[in-house]
A = this chain, B = another copy of it.
Amino acid sequence: MEVSVIIIIAMSILSLITAAVFTSKVVTIKVGGVDGKDTPQDEKLKTISAAIAEGAMAFLMREYKVISIFIAVMTVVIFFLLDNPKTPDFNEGLFTAIAFISGAIISCFSGFIGMRIATMGNVRTAQAAKESISKAFRVAFDSGAVMGFGLIGMAVLGLIALFLIFTGSYPGVEKHVLMEALAGFGLGGSSVALFARVGGGIYTKAADVGADLVGKVEKGIPEDDPRNPATIADNVGDNVGDIAGMGADLFGSAAEATCAALVIGATATALSGNTDALLYPVLISAFGIPACLLTTFFARVKEGGSVEGTLKGQLWISTVIVAAVMYFVTTRFMVPFEIAGKQITPMDVYYCLVLGLFSGMFIGMITEYFTSHSYKPVREVADACNTGAATNIIYGLALGYKSSVVPVVLLVITIVGSSMLAGMYGIAIAALGMISTIAIGLTIDAYGPVSDNAGGIAEMAELGKDVRDRTDTLDAAGNTTAAVGKGFAIGSAALTSLALFAAFITRSRLQDSSIGTIELLDPLVFGGLLFGAMLPFIFSAFTMKSVGDAAKDMVEEVRRQFKTIPGLMEGTGKPDYKKCVDISTTAALREMIPPGLLVILSPLLVGWLFGIKCLAGMLAGALVSGVVLAISSANSGGAWDNAKKYIEAAGKKGTDLHKAAVVGDTVGDPFKDTSGPAINILIKLMAIISLVFVEFFVTHGGLLTK
């Protein structure tokens, strides 16, 4: 067995052990009073957190039921559509289907683990906040780390297992054919991500908007007030959207970028003949694990210290460690090779990785600049609230549009730079570089909803003001890093889908040499480009309207409860939380279907009816307009949220100014947490579908244009 294989297996096991250790650190914390004597507040703490956990699990189970139907159908489609006549010995349909199911199951399982620990971590963070901020911080951080390390560990282990099975069973089949079947793993992960992101995004925002519109706006009660019937659904939503959704999204990015790199790499003789070098993309993720583990030892917040500083420090430390470690990994495992007539050295590949790694950091930083109220842009938006909600919306949208400039320029530099260094392989490596610190990235992402939930639980359980202040501090830092995380997610999605797109074109040319260049001015390519550019918009329209519809149902239910349940407003009546959880769940599952079908069917139908060139145009169009729209949506939403917080921090809650800010915040909710992030999945999933079904398109595609 090659050294690389042993290292990869060892590292993934290390990652799983790390996750297990963090799990035990979290779950062993006892919730309740000292000496087992619970105060009434402790009782509340337990019942509320149990309700959140129950709601979250109930949603997840129902969501997975829908997903499993989809997976079953898709497996059949894959099995029957994929049959490579050039490799009669190798049943590509079967092996792609196996990889697909593996990817889907691992993604689901990661989501499950993440949610489970998050819904245990939230209450324990609140519990620890009774003592000190430094303890509470560490509980939230550790809960996030379970997700971070668990997910990447399983992803790497799954990939290497499939790699060994495929190459072991069919040593005679060309590597790039095997790697294409392996791409089914990415497809599986991304399919789950589609539903997790879209369904989760609709769930969380329907609950949030519904809770706010009646609770805050109509009844004038604070956020997370236990009298609000939608408050449990709102807290469940944070987990569903930001943990399961974000986890599946980044799992997809990691799996897909790896598959793209493997497919492109396998077309180079020097790599396909050298397992260590071929597995380089997996080694990036594998060596990211110890680098991130080392980083976690620096995750300490002293009393009065900056939580935000610690979290951002985590990103910087892991980035620097990975950059250093990967230098040695590259020189040790990479070999010089040739792709499309271009000579590429190991150092070229290393520079691509570093380019991706640092451009991700800069995208995150610029995202923070545009969405934190420490800087001018958000303050301008807050200032625009002086002339009402309309100017707030206008300024916020303009801010979002404007905020796309620097990330786009950074992506262009990364794309041009890495492909000049190492062709299309370079882009895949840059994508992997950007998410090589994924374990820390996910830890921080999951930290956010855990501490947000902790605050909600503390409020609902009526814990003391000191506790609530501590959870507020933790939560505020989480909001900032959430914006950074979104920037990362979009940037890596852009590079990943470009890498997949490149792999798709590379493979289709290998299958059918008559495909040749994809000429931009070819009417089918340009038509595809224009059609593709429209897709992110219609996809956003679907998801935004879904949130609107679901929120309306929620508003009516909450209004109904306030009207019909006696003593609810006075705190003597008990709200029916379950009914609200149920509304969000049902709406999310119902509304995720149409956008899901749009994403899956568009590439399949366009490729089948109009051929590979039109499909290539469509992918490119969706990618470029999707990236800009995703960045704008996420940043407009983040800016409105923080403009409102800025106004609140100035003690202007309840003024007309604040009311105008709340309108912006509510509009921003589906922007930043539903439609924006879901575009990541749109562009990646369409690209990987094209890659997985490339055989089918080459053989049967272009029905109407042949």
- A262 interfacial contact with B, CB 8 Å: no
CB-based contact A540/B391 at 8 Å: no
- A680 interfacial contact with B, CB 8 Å: no
Which of A520, A524, A541, A551 has the most chain B CB within a 10 Å cutoff? A520
Identity of the chain B residue whose Cβ is nearest the Cβ of A520 in the assembled complex: B518
Scoring A residues 370 to 390 as 1 if CB is less than 8 Å from chain B, else 0, what string do you get? 000000000000001001111
Identity of the chain B residue whose Cβ is nearest the Cβ of A659 in the assembled complex: B389
Report B-chain residues with C-beta under 8 Å of the C-beta of A663. Answer: 388-390, 393, 663
Report B-chain residues with C-beta under 8 Å of the C-beta of A209. Answer: 390-391
Report B-chain residues with C-beta under 8 Å of the C-beta of A620. Answer: 520, 526, 529
> Looking at the complex, which one of B400, B624, B667 makes contact with A533 (CB distance below 8 Å)?
B624
Report B-chain residues with C-beta under 8 Å of the C-beta of A393. Answer: 393, 663, 667
Q: Which of A54-103 contact B (CB under 8 A)?
A: none
CB-based contact A632/B408 at 8 Å: no
Give the distance in Å from the alpha carbon of A517 to the alpha carbon of B517 in the complex: 8
- A625 interfacial contact with B, CB 8 Å: yes
Task: Report the minimum CB–CB distance from A202 to chain B (whole Å).
Answer: 12
Give the distance in Å from the alpha carbon of A525 to the alpha carbon of B526 in the complex: 13
Give the distance in Å from the alpha carbon of A662 to the alpha carbon of B390 in the complex: 8
CB-based contact B538/A402 at 8 Å: yes
Q: Which of A535-556 contact B (CB under 8 A)?
A: 537-538, 540-542, 544-545, 547-548, 551-552, 555
> Looking at the complex, which one of B387, B420, B616, B664 makes contact with A213 (CB distance below 8 Å)?
B387
> Looking at the complex, which one of B387, B398, B520 makes contact with A540 (CB distance below 8 Å)?
B398
The segment from A4-12, A410-418, A444-452 found at the interface with B is A410-418
Give the distance in Å from the alpha carbon of A531 to the alpha carbon of B391 in the complex: 28
CB-based contact A398/B517 at 8 Å: no
CB-based contact A617/B388 at 8 Å: no
Give the distance in Å from the alpha carbon of A398 to the alpha carbon of B674 in the complex: 13
Report B-chain residues with C-beta under 8 Å of the C-beta of A538. Answer: 401-402, 404-405
Report B-chain residues with C-beta under 8 Å of the C-beta of A505. Answer: 521
Give the distance in Å from the alpha carbon of A568 to the alpha carbon of B24 in the complex: 73
Which of A525, A526, A555, A666 has the most chain B CB within a 10 Å cutoff? A526
CB-based contact A537/B401 at 8 Å: yes
User: A390-B663, A390-B666, A667-B393 are contacts. A527–B416 as well, Cβ < 8 Å?
Assistant: yes
Report B-chain residues with C-beta under 8 Å of the C-beta of A213. Answer: 387-388, 390-391
Identity of the chain B residue whose Cβ is nearest the Cβ of A210 in the assembled complex: B387
Interface of A, secondary structure class, is: helix
Task: Report the minimum CB–CB distance from A619 to chain B (whole Å).
Answer: 9
Q: How many copies of the polypeptide does the oligomer hold? A: 2
User: A505-B521, A544-B394 are contacts. A628–B670 as well, Cβ < 8 Å?
Assistant: no
CB-based contact A527/B388 at 8 Å: no
> Looking at the complex, which one of B394, B400, B548, B624 makes contact with A395 (CB distance below 8 Å)?
B548
Identity of the chain B residue whose Cβ is nearest the Cβ of A409 in the assembled complex: B531
Give the distance in Å from the alpha carbon of A265 to the alpha carbon of B534 in the complex: 31
Identity of the chain B residue whose Cβ is nearest the Cβ of A394 in the assembled complex: B548
- A443 interfacial contact with B, CB 8 Å: no
Give the distance in Å from the alpha carbon of A617 to the alpha carbon of B617 in the complex: 12
Scoring A residues 413 to 427 as 1 if CB is less than 8 Å from chain B, else 0, what string do you get? 001100110001000
Task: Report the minimum CB–CB distance from A55 to chain B (whole Å).
Answer: 23
Scoring A residues 620 to 651 as 1 if CB is less than 8 Å from chain B, else 0, what string do you get? 11011101100010000000000000000000
Report B-chain residues with C-beta under 8 Å of the C-beta of A494. Answer: 530
- A179 interfacial contact with B, CB 8 Å: no
> Looking at the complex, which one of B399, B520, B552, B667 makes contact with A617 (CB distance below 8 Å)?
B520
Report B-chain residues with C-beta under 8 Å of the C-beta of A616. Answer: 520
Give the distance in Å from the alpha carbon of A561 to the alpha carbon of B582 in the complex: 54
CB-based contact A548/B667 at 8 Å: no
Task: Report the minimum CB–CB distance from A64 to chain B (whole Å).
Answer: 28
- A181 interfacial contact with B, CB 8 Å: no
- A523 interfacial contact with B, CB 8 Å: yes
Q: List 15 A-B contacts (CB under 8 A).
A: A209-B390, A390-B667, A393-B393, A393-B663, A394-B548, A395-B545, A397-B544, A398-B544, A401-B541, A408-B531, A408-B533, A416-B523, A416-B524, A424-B521, A533-B627
A residues apposed to B, CB below 8 Å: 209, 213, 217, 384, 387-391, 393-395, 397-402, 404-405, 408-409, 411-412, 415-416, 419-420, 424, 494, 498, 501-502, 505, 517-521, 523-527, 529-534, 537-538, 540-542, 544-545, 547-548, 551-552, 555, 616-617, 620-621, 623-625, 627-628, 632, 662-664, 666-667, 670
Extra 11 A-B pairs, beta carbons < 8 Å, given A390-B667, A395-B545, A519-B519: A213-B388, A391-B666, A394-B548, A398-B540, A398-B544, A402-B537, A416-B524, A420-B523, A520-B617, A530-B624, A533-B628
